[in-house]
Amino acid sequence: MSTASLMVAGRRLHVAAEQRDRDPDAAQAAAQAFLTALGIDLDHEALAETPARMAKAYLELLTPREFDLTTFPNDEGYEQLVLVQGIPFRSLCEHHALPFIGTADVGYLPAERIIGLSKLARVVELFAHRAQVQERMTKQIADWLAEHLAPKGVGVVLRAEHLCMTLRGAQVSGTTTLTSAMQGLLLNDARARHEFVTLTHPAR
Ligand code: ZN
């Protein structure tokens, strides 16, 4: 599920993550066995549907919605930074199968095409809804936009709280992990990079 399948239709690309075989019934049965093995009594009426709900919740976390990538010609020759901040996402840490939850700032310097702004949130979801690590997710979003939008620069910043860190192990709640990926002029041009970093890493 590492690559997205793309069907070219003019300047609209239909984007759907490649799904590995899913078996909701097997997931539900496994959830039942898992919870029972952990000593949770599923005989109580309130818990009877818990294995089904658990399987459904995980399947939802692992299934990005399909979308059409719409891009438009950059007729006005807009050359400055386009930046969408605070895109919420939820993903699943592949090491612990526990969620990590946060926000994404996604920016680019347009070249020939500009992208429908809401699509940036869909690209984040495309890479969030799978078994993931935050570092890889950050880079995948940047790489995908570089490939499909061919901008002059792209920058992605993710901030997330990892439940595997706050619920167990170190048990440090309220911590935020920040990762970033910059390419093109947002990496190599000092002025553009400074603007992006200033906007996405406000002093606090
Ligand atoms: Zn983890």
Q: Which of 60, 94, 112, 147 is catalytic?
A: 94
pLDDT in tens, the chain (204 residues): 444 444 443 467 888 887 778 899 999 999 999 999 999 999 999 999 999 999 999 999 999 999 999 899 999 999 999 999 999 999 999 999 999 999 999 999 999 999 999 999 999 999 999 999 999 999 999 999 999 999 999 999 999 999 998 887 777 788 899 999 999 999 999 999 999 999 998 776
CATH top class, domain 73-200:
alpha beta
Ligand 1 midpoint to CA 96 (Å): 4
Total-model pTM:
0.90
- Helical ranges in 62-203 per DSSP H: 117-128, 134-149, 163-166, 185-188, 190-200
Q: What does DSSP say about strands 131-132 and 82-93: parallel, antiparallel, or unpaired? A: parallel
Residue 147 among the catalytic residues: no
- The protein residues having their C-beta less than 5 angstroms from ligand 1 (an ion) are 93, 95-96, 164
Domain boundaries, the chain: 24-61, 73-200
Ligand 1 midpoint to CA 176 (Å): 13
Residue 122 DSSP class: H
